[in-house]
Amino acid sequence: MQDISLLVVSKTFPASAVRAAHAAGERRFGENYVQEGLDKITELAELRAELEWHLIGPLQSNKTKPVAQHFDWVHSVDRLKIAQRLSEQRPPELPPLNICLQVNISGEASKSGVSAADLPALAQAVAGLPRLRLRGLMAVPEPAADFETQRQPHRALAALLAQLRRQLGQQHKGQDLSLDTLSMGMSADLEAAIAEGASMVRVGSAIFGARTYPQV
Q: Where are the domains of the chain?
A: 5-208
Coil, strand or helix: which one is 181?
A: strand
- pLDDT tens, position by position, for the chain (216 residues)? 468 999 999 999 999 999 999 999 999 999 999 999 999 999 999 999 999 999 999 999 999 999 999 999 999 999 999 999 999 999 999 999 999 999 999 887 778 899 999 999 999 999 999 999 999 999 999 999 899 999 999 999 999 999 999 988 766 565 656 799 999 999 889 999 999 999 999 998 878 877 666 554
CATH number for region 5-208:
3.20.20.10
Residues paired with residue 16 on neighbouring β-strands, in sequence order: none
Q: Could you give phi then psi for residue 14, rounded to 5 degrees?
A: -75, 165
pTM above 0.85, yes or no: yes
What is the rounded CA–CA span in Å between residue 43 and residue 21? 15
Q: Name the helix (H) or strand (E) containing 123.
A: helix 119-127
Under the phi-then-psi rule, with left for phi > 0, alpha for psi from -120 to 50, and beta for the rest, what region is 113? left
Cβ(77)–Cβ(100) under 8 Å? yes
Cβ(101)–Cβ(126) under 8 Å? yes
